[in-house]
């Protein structure tokens, strides 16, 4: 097997056969990438299609949520900034989640997309889920930690980045 489903010259053209461990190592981040990408695309679409969420006031609105967490957040000034334009902040989060999710799924600028996902998760952890006790009950901290391997490693398999890198190597 050459890592692409066929047999022959090996993934790197060396003619050596690679073991299952080496192949598994290459694909190890793919399930995480798919999970985070799908989750963030879904979260972004869910927010963009929820008129209650994208409102400054009312049940289920971003404004109500920000007002509710303001005093218990780690950085109240960040919440105050969001409260200057709750609708704009809601759209920014939703569009950011959608772009991060799509970039992660497609693997285009994968490290940048993962960094965006990590920053969104960090900001949500420091504001919305900061008051969770014990800390591991909050869901944003695990998302932040899940993004870090993708920030470090990028998307080397089944990605636009890998395709573009392979294309650049062939033209050199």
Place of tokens 């950085």: 75
CA angle 33, 36, 39 (to 5 degrees): 140
Number of H helices, E strands in the chain: 8, 0
| Positions of the chain with pLDDT lower than 50, given as ranges | 1-15
Q: Give the pLDDT score at 58.
A: 95
- pLDDT, residue 6, reads 40
pLDDT at 172: 77
pTM of the prediction? 0.85
Query: What is the pLDDT, as a whole number, of residue 171?
Result: 86
What pLDDT, on the 0 to 100 scale, is given for residue 55? 94
**Residue 19's pLDDT is what?**
86
């Amino acid at each position: 097997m050459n890592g692409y489903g066929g047999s022959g010259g090996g993934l790197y053209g060396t003619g050596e056969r690679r073991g299952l461990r080496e192949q598994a190592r290459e694909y190890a981040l793919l399930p995480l990438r798919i999970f985070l990408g799908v989750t963030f695309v879904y979260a972004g679409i869910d927010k963009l299609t929820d008129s209650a969420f994208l409102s400054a006031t009312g049940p289920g609105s971003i404004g109500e949520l920000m007002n509710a967490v303001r005093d218990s957040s780690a950085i109240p000034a960040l919440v105050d900034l969001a409260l200057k334009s709750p609708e704009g902040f809601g759209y920014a989060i939703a569009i950011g989640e959608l772009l991060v999710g799509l970039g992660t799924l497609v693997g285009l600028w994968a490290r940048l997309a993962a960094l965006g996902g990590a920053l969104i998760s960090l900001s949500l952890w420091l504001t919305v889920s900061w008051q969770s006790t014990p800390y591991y009950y909050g869901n944003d901290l695990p998302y932040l930690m899940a993004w870090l391997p993708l920030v470090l490693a990028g998307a080397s398999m089944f990605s636009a980045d890998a395709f573009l890198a392979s294309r650049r190597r062939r033209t050199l």
